[in-house]
Amino acid sequence: MSEFGLCDDDFKPASSTLFSDPADFDVLEQFGTNKVIAESALSRLSLYVKFDPLVDLPVTECVASSWFVLVSVFFRSIEAEESMVLMGTPPRGASHSRVAPVVKNHTPISNNPGPASNPAALDLLCSDTPEGKTEFTDVIKDTLSLNQKTDNGEIIEVLQYTEADILRIKQNLAMEFQGILLDNQREWSKKLAEKEKELGKKEEAMKEEVAKSQEKSVVKEYQIIIDQLLGEKEKLNGQLKETKQELQKVKDQAVQDAQSVDTIEASFSALHKRFEKSKELLITAKKAISIWVQNLTSQYSKDDVIMNEETLKACVEDYQGKLQKTEERLLKLKEVAEEKLKAAHESLEKVKANSASETTRLQALVKRKEMQLESTEKSLEQKVPIDDT
């Protein structure tokens, strides 16, 4: 079904539409076979009699009117059938001009119009209803069975046609109508092809517009994704910088702690050296005191020696107490230094482990985002040449 409301079944040959009713053939075959006219009077129906001034003109007038009504009714029925098939086609002025010569060749010339003499035929010609086909046979029969006498009592002689003439007229009319149908079919097929071409062009234009809009939407989506990835990359870079700064601070703190530990170790080593020196001094002093005591015992009396020995013992005890206190202080300092060193080492190890894990995690995240960005850029580069083509 095309956009004009027509399909292939609407175009039918003339043989299936013109003479589908057998009554049409019967009426056309009975035309001219009226037995009212004697066979001896057929000689007066020659071409010379038609132009004989002594023969009354109403004969030709009646014949012309009857034949004109017949052909007009026939064409009217054809038009009624054709209007149902070729609905909406342009007016066919040329087709009537092509059929007119056939009617002129077989109808006598009349001064008065034929259809005016028969009101029923005139109504049938002016009607556009489908009942025209059903009335076709009745009107022809009424035309053929016209009274052979006029009001003046004169006998009207109807023009006789042979079967060959009637068949030739039928063939000519069928061929003319078939030619009209073919011309209309060709014309409308051309118009249909043009309309289909226009529709094809419009569809292609619509497809191109849809493809362009889809490509634009895809490019916009890629741009949005790239902007998002770039924003995420910037955020990750900022986080990486912050973590690096934090790691640097932790390293600096660890370096400071290590320096403080070094200072503590240096002070502890200096204190230990002082302790060793004081210990050596005490040993030498003890030896000197023992030598001095021996000398005193040899020089002084026992009482003096006992007194000196007591004072010396008191001094030795005093020095031993001081030495013990210094040793205790050194031990405490050593324990505190060892604890601080251990804590500093543990914190430094923790910082190193945390910094290493955080650095690897951030590096992996940055690398993954860079790979995603590279893949999106490659897909976008592949999409742009496809859009250009």
137, 92 Cβ separation under 8 angstroms? no
Confidence category of residue 14, pLDDT binned at 50, 70, 90: low
**End-to-end Cα distance, the chain:** 37
155, 148 Cβ separation under 8 angstroms? yes
Confidence category of residue 366, pLDDT binned at 50, 70, 90: confident
| Arithmetic mean of pLDDT, 131-139 | 48
Other C-beta atoms lying within 10 Å of the C-beta of residue 203: 10
Kindly state the tokens that stand for 371. Answer: 């790979």
The yes-or-no verdict on residue 247 having pLDDT over 50 is yes
- Of all residues in the chain, the percent with pLDDT exceeding 90 is 5
Q: Which of 163, 172, 12, 158 is nearest to 81 (CA)?
A: 12
**From CA 250, how far away is CA 257, in angstroms rounded?**
10
| Arithmetic mean of pLDDT, 119-145 | 46
Task: Lowest mean pLDDT of 181-185, 186-190, 283-287, name the range.
Answer: 283-287
293, 309 Cβ separation under 8 angstroms? yes
| Arithmetic mean of pLDDT, 382-387 | 66
pLDDT attached to residue 161: 64
pLDDT attached to residue 194: 92
Confidence category of residue 157, pLDDT binned at 50, 70, 90: very low
Task: Lowest mean pLDDT of 33-37, 237-241, 313-317, name the range.
Answer: 33-37
Check the CA dihedral 28-29-35-41 and report its sign: positive
Three-state secondary-structure class, residue 155: strand
pLDDT tens digits, one per residue of 65-111 = 445 555 555 555 555 444 444 444 444 444 443 333 333 344 443 44
The yes-or-no verdict on residue 28 having pLDDT over 70 is no
Highest mean pLDDT among 18-32, 196-210, 326-340: 196-210
**From CA 377, how far away is CA 371, in angstroms rounded?**
10
Kindly state the tokens that stand for 319. Answer: 């020095």
| Arithmetic mean of pLDDT, 361-368 | 82
Mean pLDDT, the chain, whole residue set:
67
pLDDT tens digits, one per residue of 343-359 = 877 877 887 788 778 77
pLDDT attached to residue 192: 92
Confidence category of residue 58, pLDDT binned at 50, 70, 90: very low
The yes-or-no verdict on residue 328 having pLDDT over 80 is yes
What element of type H or E holds 113? Answer: none
| Arithmetic mean of pLDDT, 370-387 | 76
Ordered by where they begin, the domains of the chain are: 8-161 (no CATH), 212-388 (1.10.287)
* Model confidence pTM above 0.85: no
289, 317 Cβ separation under 8 angstroms? no
